[in-house]
Structure 1
Amino acid sequence: MTLPLRRLGRRTLVSAVSAVVFGGATLLGGAAAGAQPPAPPPPAPPNCSPADWAGVRAGVAAAVSAYLFTHPPVNDFFATLKGLSREEMRPQVQQYMDANPQVRAEMEAIRKPAVDFLDRCK
């Protein structure tokens, strides 16, 4: 079966060609728009520089030192961990903190500035 091309006429042919041309231009235009480089990342939150992190760590370290000097039993416990691997330390520290919830709470409060910094500056 053949289609009578004369019935389709010139208008139909022009419409079909126009649709293909404009459709292709739309696709190419969309591809070109998608090929643009991504926007630069947003700036880091304030007070998140390496110098800020060093200051926070120094403050936490000083607070831990002061805490251990003023709490000899806690200092003595941590002294017993010297020479152990992290894998050996973990269960002992967990057990000590479970048995001494006040020490855990005080140590967590001392570490809070470091935790807050890391949460804020991800």
Structure 2
Amino acid sequence: MLFSAPTVRRAVAGALGAGALGATLFGVLPAASAQPAPPNCTAADFAGVASGVSAASSAYLFTHPDVNDFFTSLHGLPREEIKTRVMDYMNAHPQERDELTAIRQPLVDIKNRCGYAFADAGDPDMPE
């Protein structure tokens, strides 16, 4: 069964954002400011970090079939149900939560260092 990219993105973003479920890997925009961005805070820098996090997430899911199966099982569920199930799963699996949070850390770091704000870029399938 093939899943649409937005569905997979939504599920994995929910996992990686456990503790910050509203965050998403994509749809990050720099905060409006009259000052230039700090060094290494360009769109290319962010895309590089995001692609690294995405690759690490994929590797993690392939090497943890039980976690992969859980996120795959979320396909087609309503957004609110996905959020609830992800929160419940992460609370019941603290090691997996910590590992996924560590994978996501570079994204959090660049967001904090560069002042990026997570936003829905107009894609109705993106997490809020």
- What TM-score, normalized by structure 1, do the two folds share? 0.65
Could you list the runs of 4 or more consecutive aligned residues of structure 1 that deviate by over 6 angstroms after TM superposition?
none
Specify the alignment match of 1:64 in structure 2. Answer: 57
Q: Does 1:112 align with 2:105?
A: yes
CA separation in 1, counterparts of 2:104 and 2:61?
13
Q: Does 1:87 align with 2:80?
A: yes
Amino acid aligned to 1:110:
I
Identity of aligned residues (%): 60
Higher alpha-carbon Rg: 1
Q: Does 1:54 align with 2:47?
A: yes
Superposition map of 1:26-41 within 5 A = 41=34
What is the Cα deviation at residue 54 of structure 1?
0.6
CA separation in 1, counterparts of 2:46 and 2:79?
24
Where relative contact order (Cα < 8 A, 6+ residues apart) is larger, the structure is 2
Structure (1 or 2) with the greater strand fraction: 2
Amino acid aligned to 1:70:
T
Structure (1 or 2) with the greater helix fraction: 1
- Taking only aligned residues, the RMSD between alpha carbons, in angstroms, comes to 1.3
Specify the alignment match of 1:34 in structure 2. Answer: none
| Number of equivalenced pairs | 83
Q: Does 1:99 align with 2:89?
A: no
CA separation in 2, counterparts of 1:71 and 1:99?
16
Name stretches of at least 5 consecutive residues in structure 1 with no aligned partner.
1-39
